[in-house]
Structure 1
Amino acid sequence: MTMSCEEDLTKSKDNQSRNFPSEIINNAHITKRDSGFVTMKAFAPIIEKYELIDSPYIVAKKGIDIEFFDKKKPKVPGKITAKYARIFEYKKFYEAKGNVRITTNEGQRFAMQSVYWDQRKNRIYTHDTVYVTMEDGSTLVGAKGMTAKDDFSEYTFFDNTGNFSAKQLSENKR
């Protein structure tokens, strides 16, 4: 008995998975500029671009370190590190997960497990517990998350506690 198999390549293309990286960058060092001014520097061990699907995205599965620069304070970059990051460029939506650490240009340090940035709305938010340490050493805890402007000029914590010195409290009341 002899058997033969023939494959119709035109039919199988429609059923193939397109959820594979179209581009892979190892040891990625990325610098973004605006009018010659460096606005961001990023490093990731590996970046994968998924462009052949309905909602394309970029993922850094092995972590990412980003420095972001403000034209007002070009020598003092803000920083964000995470064990995982995903970027939806078309939607201008970003997520970072796993031991997320953010340091603002003013020296405030935020620690949480996940954070989301909606660039279109200029908002950053998380539902995780957020730990904030100010430059003077005072701390604040948002047990049920926070929402903030993406430049951290304003933020709101949910179910918060903290420790502040009496001097700092009297200065804030002025």
Structure 2
Amino acid sequence: MQNYKQHHILLNIVTAIAVTMFFSCQSEESKPSGMLVQKEAPIAEAFEVNLKYTDSGRLTAVLKTPKILDYSNKSFAYHEFPEGIILDIIDKEGKVSVVTSDYAISYQQTGIIDMRGNVDIKTADSTHLQAEQLYWDQKINWIFTDYPYKSFLPDGNINEADGFDANQDFTILNSRINDGVMFIEE
């Protein structure tokens, strides 16, 4: 009888360990799919957005987009604009420069906005720049890319290059590997 009790206790312990191991070793893939979707889903979505940015009471920018996905729940938080943006940047004199792109992503920790697909900038002084990809560092007001771009200057000059970096106002422009058309007076 005592041998039977020891055998029964041992069987219960082995069963408990086996059940514990079975449930603790369950893979991510076997969990309900809703759990995985929530882990990767944005914390919020907004549609037909028209955001206005101010600095010391002065309107500095207006951002329009059909859709924003908010991933501020991630360790490296970001906002995604999967359907593109239209950004009006307003200088201190009230002049407006317009930036558009097919897609954008804004990283909160670094202040960098990555714009991709038909990036188009039209400055208040009639400079026109086209690129496939462009970064804008909001903290230092600097724009840069390593991808080809084309610019059309107000004086008729055209410049094509394989990358540049510039301040937000384009008063400083460092262009790399240039090719273009310049008009010079004799």
The number of aligned residues is 155
Work out whether 1:53 is the aligned partner of 2:71.
no
Q: Secondary structure of the equivalent of 2:39?
A: coil
Distance 2:80 2:90 in 1: 22
Q: Where does 1:24-35 land on structure 2 (aligned, <5 Å)? A: 24-35=45-56
Instruction: State the Cα distance separating 1:121 from its structure 2 match.
Output: 4.0
TM-score between the two structures when normalised by the length of structure 2: 0.76
Distance 1:130 1:118 in 2: 18
Distance 1:28 1:35 in 2: 23
Which region of structure 1 is more displaced relative to structure 2, 39-48 or 157-166? 157-166
**1:4 is matched with which residue?**
none
Unaligned ranges ≥5, structure 1: 1-6
Large movers: runs of 4+ above 6 Å: none
Work out whether 1:68 is the aligned partner of 2:86.
no
Q: Secondary structure of the equivalent of 2:139?
A: coil
Unaligned ranges ≥5, structure 2: 1-22, 25-30
Identity %: 23
Distance 2:119 2:110 in 1: 22
**Bigger fraction of residues in strand:** 1
Contact 2:102 2:117 in 1 (8 A): yes
Contact 1:18 1:52 in 2 (8 A): no
Q: Secondary structure of the equivalent of 1:18?
A: helix
Instruction: State the Cα distance separating 1:118 from its structure 2 match.
Output: 2.3
Contact 2:156 2:183 in 1 (8 A): no
**2:153 is matched with which residue?**
134
Among 30, 37, 41, which residue is 2:58 paired with?
37
**Bigger fraction of residues in helix:** 2
Root-mean-square deviation (Å) = 2.1
**1:105 is matched with which residue?**
124
Task: Select the structure of larger CA radius of gyration.
Answer: 2
TM-score between the two structures when normalised by the length of structure 1: 0.81
Instruction: State the Cα distance separating 1:112 from its structure 2 match.
Output: 0.4
Q: Where does 1:119-130 land on structure 2 (aligned, <5 Å)? A: 119-130=138-149
| Counterpart residue identity of residue 54, structure 2 | R
| Counterpart residue identity of residue 97, structure 1 | R
